[in-house]
Structure 1
Amino acid sequence: MKQPSTYYHVKKSKAKIQVHQGGTRSGKTYSICQALIELCFKNKGAGIVITIVRKTFPALRSSVMRDFFDILTEGGNYYEENHNKSQATYTLFGNLVEFISADQPQKLRGRKRTLLYINEANELSLEDFRQLILRTTDKTILDYNPSDQFHWIYEHVLPREDVDFFQTTYLDNPFLEQSVIEEIERFKETDENYWRIYGLGERGVNTAAVFPQWQVADEIPERAKLVAYGCDWGFTNDPTAIVSVWREDYSLYIKEHLYSTGLTNRDISMELDKLQLNRTPIICDSAEPKSIEELHRLGHNVKPSKKGPDSIRLGIDIMKRHKLYILKDSLNAQKEFRNYRWETNKDGVQLSKPIDNNNHIVDAVRYVCINRIGTPYSGKYFIS
């Protein structure tokens, strides 16, 4: 059976360090786990120690650990007595596989290992990498999506003579469903930088704009369907923003209805009455439950938006999967989308967190996307 390209790359490489750069759903993580399990099988009782690392343990548990134990279970090689859950280790054919997170510095400086695998290596610092590789006697494997234009991997790892570099894309994964392929290829039209990173597996361009590609529309197409209204609260300094979001295939149309400071909940209710919503849902920032309850008592179909530790990133990702159109008279919306930018650190390196500014209409749209559109697809190789 044909496997993703990464599987063969791992098995054939003799280099001390393997670097696997790739786009989304290319099969990097799953294939590396397969190869490591086979290594343990072929070296039964050898006492090999494999350390698998990611930046945080929750991320480690929900990604590479899940793949690793899925493969063991599907192959009939998972035994409860071999799994020390409190220590996050598994004894496999007389070898030890341990899972640690880079946010535990004492473990980075722990005992030596035979083989090191760093999943999403671009999340770690250069110092993390140095501490880990100093205690690795045989091989080191790195994988990552190349979302950064500049990174220590490019500067300090790739130039080494003992490195094998491999670049893969979703086309290197023979098990990928056609529907997922089509979703990934939509990035060609909706976001050039996302397509470069997650489609082609190439380094991202350091553009600070969160939404570099959007267009102005004269009107909402007749075929577009109203998804919902979105509301972001404000009062003294920040404006209250209300928008409607319309969808036609993979295009979103955004219309600004309200953008004003100093409004009470009764003022907002009067503005909503003017829109004649007829029970159309209004998805609101859940940070103000009292305001939501008051508008509900005033007869409006208001609902709190779902929130979670990664809800901003999720909402942005959903929006980026669509062509975005802003109505020509929605001037505040155009201004926000033009100026909504990613944070950068003191070295000017772009971070994956947007600046908390120019985001009132953006947030209102995001609430609608998270609660009414959701993730187009998910799975083992969903964007991380």
Structure 2
Amino acid sequence: MKLTAAFNKIAKIKARTRIIQGAGGSSKTYSILQYLIILCTKSKKPLTISIVSESFPHLRRGAAKDLIDILIENDLYDEKSHNKTNNSYKLNGCTIEWFGVEDGGKLRGARRDILFVNEANNINREAFTQLSIRTKQFIFLDYNPSHLSWIREYIKEDKSNFVKLTYLDNEYLSKNVIQEYKDAIIKAESGSSYWKNFVAVYVYGEEGQVDGTIYSYNLIEDIPDDCKYIGAGLDFGFNDPNALVKVYQKGLKDLIIDESLYKSGLLNNQIVNHIKSDDELKQNIIVCDSARPEIIAELRNKTIPAKAVKKGAGSILDGISILQEFNLYVTKRSENLIFELNNYTWEKDNNGEKLNTPIDKHNHLLDAVRYFAMDRLSTKNNNYNTLKWVS
């Protein structure tokens, strides 16, 4: 195999959780796959290796394709060993499988020996935890640092489990791509915020920010003593998570948001028990997704002050605009909410121009916040805030 400097740096890490932060063209994913293939060829006992990403289509276009390409290029591919139904490959008695985190059965299924989470900042902390606790030996995480994420918590001060790679770690990168990076550096020097962020993330492998995020926010350690709890928002799920946020207000324009619940597979009584365990939640309004009136009715029967949000044409944009009028503060413990804020963006057209439509993902907790804002914080004549709780 043609092994890069990136491969050699990756191979030296011996910690359980091995974090590879890489810029574009650094060969981080390719090198991890090479490492795993070599490991299988040398293994004296069967191993199960899971390659996981945000979705199966993402894997099919990326890491899974690279895996098969590497096997073919090195005369290790045998079509009989490739189970295209189960998305797995057998190599020297070892099984390499790949699946997206949307596959809940696999996410919470059988244990594995080794885990590789590809583009890990595109999955949430809960999904990673479910995968991690079912992994016996060690874990690779790779990602482009396009925004701040929960992964930083796994980077220890001694950096023994962390490698940062750039295109300079890939000796086999084409000259044309290298020239594109050099051109981007020149554009960044002109003062363009877009190109500065691009160069930071994709050339130097530094932390940046997703282009086109909908909300800006500030992180705080905890709920300030001088703010007032004003209610909560709840977005129902089952396969998707049930998402509950508590909302506090300070002055006229400061909103403090605290994640209270983010968990899939909950039964109604478990939601009730969670709410009743919190004095604030059970005493003030909870504005809920109107799509599940039967759950709202059950909450109300349990004396929980729940009500349905009133939706309508344009209500998503209205809710977003209401929240954008406030200064948003988010507690550092609200990890899933922070993930959504960092990834909830405007749709783009084929030319990369932003559209006035938000993407329909990374929005469970943010929908819950929006329901509350539409019902309790709107000053517009849109009837979203007319249905009050009646005890």
TM class by shorter chain equals 0.5 to 0.7
* Aligned equivalent of 1:250: none
Letter in 1 for 2:15: A
* Aligned equivalent of 2:289: none
Q: Deviations over 1:106-127 (max 9, x none)?
A: 2111111110000000011000
Task: Kindly report which structure 2 residues correspond to 1:139-154, keeping only aligned pairs within 5 A, or say none.
Answer: 139-148=138-147, 150-154=148-152
Q: Does 1:201 align with 2:201?
A: no
Are the equivalent residues in 2 in contact too, given 1:185–1:195 (CA < 8 A)? no
Identity %: 37
Task: Kindly report which structure 2 residues correspond to 1:304-323, keeping only aligned pairs within 5 A, or say none.
Answer: none
* Aligned equivalent of 2:379: none
Letter in 2 for 1:17: T
Distance 1:82 1:364 in 2: 39
Are the equivalent residues in 1 in contact too, given 2:10–2:163 (CA < 8 A)? no
Structure 1 unaligned spans of 5+: 211-343, 357-362, 368-384
Distance 1:346 1:93 in 2: 42
* Aligned equivalent of 2:117: 118
Task: Kindly report which structure 2 residues correspond to 1:16-55, keeping only aligned pairs within 5 A, or say none.
Answer: 16-44=16-44, 46-55=45-54
Match of 1:170 among 134, 157, 167: 167
Structure 2 unaligned spans of 5+: 189-194, 215-329, 331-335, 354-391
| Secondary structure, counterpart of 1:186 in structure 2 | helix
Aligned-residue offset at 1:186: 2.1
Distance 1:8 1:119 in 2: 19
Aligned-residue offset at 1:5: 2.5
Letter in 2 for 1:48: L
Aligned-residue offset at 1:104: 1.0
TM-score, structure 2 length as denominator?
0.53
* Aligned equivalent of 1:3: 3
Distance 2:127 2:157 in 1: 18
Are the equivalent residues in 2 in contact too, given 1:120–1:142 (CA < 8 A)? yes
Q: Give the 4+ runs in structure 1 shifted more than 3 A.
A: 159-163, 205-210, 344-348, 363-367
Task: Kindly report which structure 2 residues correspond to 1:361-376, keeping only aligned pairs within 5 A, or say none.
Answer: none
Aligned-residue offset at 1:13: 1.6
Letter in 2 for 1:19: I
Letter in 1 for 2:343: L
Q: Deviations over 1:1-34 (max 9, x none)?
A: 8732331123222111110001001001111111
Give the number of the structure with larger relative contact order, counting CA–CA contacts within 8 Å between residues 6 or more apart: 1
Aligned-residue offset at 1:87: 0.3
Task: Kindly report which structure 2 residues correspond to 1:125-144, keeping only aligned pairs within 5 A, or say none.
Answer: 125-144=124-143
* Aligned equivalent of 2:56: 57
Distance 2:350 2:102 in 1: 33
Distance 1:95 1:19 in 2: 23
Letter in 1 for 2:342: Q
Q: Deviations over 1:260-298 (max 9, x none)?
A: xxxxxxxxxxxxxxxxxxxxxxxxxxxxxxxxxxxxxxx
TM-score, structure 1 length as denominator?
0.54
Aligned-residue offset at 1:350: 3.0
| Secondary structure, counterpart of 1:39 in structure 2 | helix
